[in-house]
Amino acid sequence: MTTTNAKLTILGSGTSTGIPMVGCNCEVCLSKEEKNKRLRTSFYLETKNGNKVVIDTTPDLRTQALRANINHVDYCIITHDHADHLHGIDDLRPFCFGPPPKSIPVYTHRDCMIQMEGRFPYIFQKDFFNEKRPVLGGGVPRLELQEIKVFEKEITIENDSYTFFLLPHGHGQTLGLYHDKLAILIDCNAIPDSVIKYLKAKKLEHLFIDCVKIGEHKTHLTLDKSLEYIKAIGPKSSYLIHMGHGLEHFQLEKLCKESGISNCQPAFDTMHIYF
């Protein structure tokens, strides 16, 4: 059933350490400002078709789900295999309980699938449990890996339309996505020209883009580059995300305003948008 609006909730807006970072006494890590407290970056998407989607399963997923009052997941999208985006996957288990008990499809690209099968054999390797070694105790998440094979062209997942992109991220690749005038481009150190062209033509309402720090970084976008890409893509509203402890919320907000880009701001945990 189609609803009036889709909703995106920011479950976390921080980099891999989270903010505050353990053992750090910097200004941002000691800040009492709630917008400077950042769990690892992930999203909860409620589509116009009524599907409820977790995008990335961070090590903070249980806390994020409780905080956002999430009680249902129809499917999951994993952008890449780094621990801060994947290693909370066991916390999808309560969403499989039902009633009735169900399996949750998990969509990702091939390289990430291989890593997931290797790291979580008890979930994804069908022969891991057998008659001699049955599932005991509370069981395991009932998850079904689904490979995303088509990029830079529209595909349908559970009646929802997406376009996925492969973005460079260190030695690997991460999934960027477009859905219904929304784009999410995280954990990347560049955005290919073909992706910029595609998204610019879509006349985006909302863009969430990687921004880990000010200065240089080998595997992530940093402020100057993030702002440059925002200008090239031209969304109506843009949000910096996946931020480290070198970025204080209100100082970054000021830098966004000084950039001359309209409606550009840092994202923050629990933030939500309708589109």
Residue 128 pLDDT > 90: no
C-alpha torsion 35→45→92→75, nearest 10: -160
Residue 135 lies in a domain: yes
CA distance 117 to 102: 20
pLDDT the model gives residue 3: 56
pTM: 0.96
Residue 1 pLDDT > 70: no
Residue 116 lies in a domain: yes
pLDDT the model gives residue 2: 54
Residue 1 lies in a domain: no
Residue 34 lies in a domain: yes
The number of domains in the chain is 1
Per-residue model confidence as pLDDT tens digits over 28-81: 999 999 999 999 999 999 999 999 999 999 999 999 999 999 999 999 999 999
| Pairing of β 272-274 and β 7-12 | antiparallel
100: exposed, middle or buried (C-beta count within 10 Å: 0-12, 13-18, 19+)? exposed
CA distance 252 to 266: 7
Nearest 5°: the CA angle 85, 87, 91 is: 105
Quick check: 246 and 28 in contact, CB under 8 A?
A: yes
pLDDT the model gives residue 132: 78
What is the DSSP secondary-structure string of 163-218?
A: EEEEEEETTEEEEEEEETTEEEE-S-S---HHHHHHHHHHT-SEEEEE---SS--S
CATH number at residue 185: 3.60.15.10
Residue 61 lies in a domain: yes
Per-residue model confidence as pLDDT tens digits over 133-192: 777 766 789 999 999 999 999 999 999 999 999 999 999 999 999 999 999 999 999 999
- Mean pLDDT within 87-107: 95
- Higher pLDDT, residue 60 or 125: 60
Per-residue model confidence as pLDDT tens digits over 208-250: 999 999 999 999 999 999 999 999 999 999 999 999 999 999 9
Residue 167 lies in a domain: yes
Residue 203 lies in a domain: yes
| Residue 225 CB neighbours (<10 A) | 19
Range of the domain at 268: 7-274
pLDDT the model gives residue 133: 78
Query: Residue 122 has which token pair?
Result: 């008890």
Per-residue model confidence as pLDDT tens digits over 10-29: 999 999 999 999 999 999 99
Question: DSSP 3-state assignment of 76?
Answer: strand
Place of tokens 């402890």: 245
